[in-house]
Amino acid sequence: MNKIIIEIRAGAGGDEAAIFAGDLARMYQRYAEMNGWKFTVLDSNQTTLHGYKTFIARIGGDGAYENLKQESGVHRVQRIPATEKAGRIHTSTASVAVMPVVESKEVNINPGDLDVSFFRSSGPGGQNVNKVETAVRITHKPTGVTVSSQASRTQLENREHAMEILRSKLYEAQLEKQRAELGSLRREQIGSGDRAEKIRTYNFPQDRITDHRIGKKFSNIEKILDGDLDKIVKAFKKAEKE
């Protein structure tokens, strides 16, 4: 699987959670660049402080899914936010979902099940960026799954991107159902975004990242957030072999 969709959502923690979601988006983008992968933003909902409420991108390149599949789950950050005047440490979360891009033949979607609407894409703070309604929102009526795309300049491209996101989400839901039927019910990738459901903690005061699934600690947070994910990826591959 050489193409994935990565979805990042700000969780608990207000503005700081959105800033952290932005940090994670940048980390994956830098990691993709380092590997020579193609990184395409499909949809984002930016906040005024360089953060994101939601950020969805497609990453294409050799080994993209293999290297990033362990990123799915709730990421927690502990630091003094840029918005904090009294110097207190805050805890915030952002959730990440990594889904393979699937071909249209792998997921059967009935056009009659889709509710498609168009709107103007918005920038930070919600102001409209385009004078024409190029952004696309699609709801899959049987499941209630809603996706949108507003990164491209044309309605057609945004519609294609939104359909790609929808196929990946429905495919993931199918897999989830199969796993449940096999008796290995796995919690939803995203969880509730609550602070408790964490896979990894980024502790800035101690300059330490802890991955709670493999019990490993990594130092040099700034470097890792700048895309240096290799040691985490390698640690997971080693754990898988063991």
For residue range 44-92, list pLDDT tens digits in order.
Answer: 988 878 899 999 999 999 999 999 999 999 999 999 987 778 888 999 9
What is residue 129's predicted lDDT score, i.e. its pLDDT?
52
Parallel, antiparallel or unpaired: strands 114-119 and 145-149: unpaired
> Smallest Cα–Cα separation from 169: which of 155, 195, 154, 148?
148
> What is 7-34 written as a DSSP string?
EEEE-SSHHHHHHHHHHHHHHHHHHHHH
- Tallying the residues shown for the chain, one arrives at 242
Question: Is residue 182 pLDDT above 90, yes or no?
Answer: no
Per-residue pLDDT tens for 105-151? 788 888 899 999 988 876 655 555 555 678 899 999 999 999 999 88
Show the tokens assigned to 93: 């979360």
Average pLDDT over all residues of the chain: 86
Model pTM score: 0.81
Query: Is the pLDDT at 19 greater than 90, yes or no?
Result: yes
57: its two tokens: 């991108």
* pLDDT exceeds cutoff 70 at 97: yes
pLDDT of residue 84: 77
pLDDT of residue 2: 87
- How far is it, in rounded angstroms, from Cα 137 to Cα 10? 20
3-101+187-241 with 104-181: one CATH topology?
no
What is the third-level CATH fold of 104-181?
Double Stranded RNA Binding Domain (3.30.160)
Domain ranges of the chain: 3-101+187-241, 104-181
Residue 205 pLDDT exceeds 90: yes
Second CATH level (architecture) for the domain 3-101+187-241: 2-Layer Sandwich (3.30)
pLDDT at position 195 over 50: no
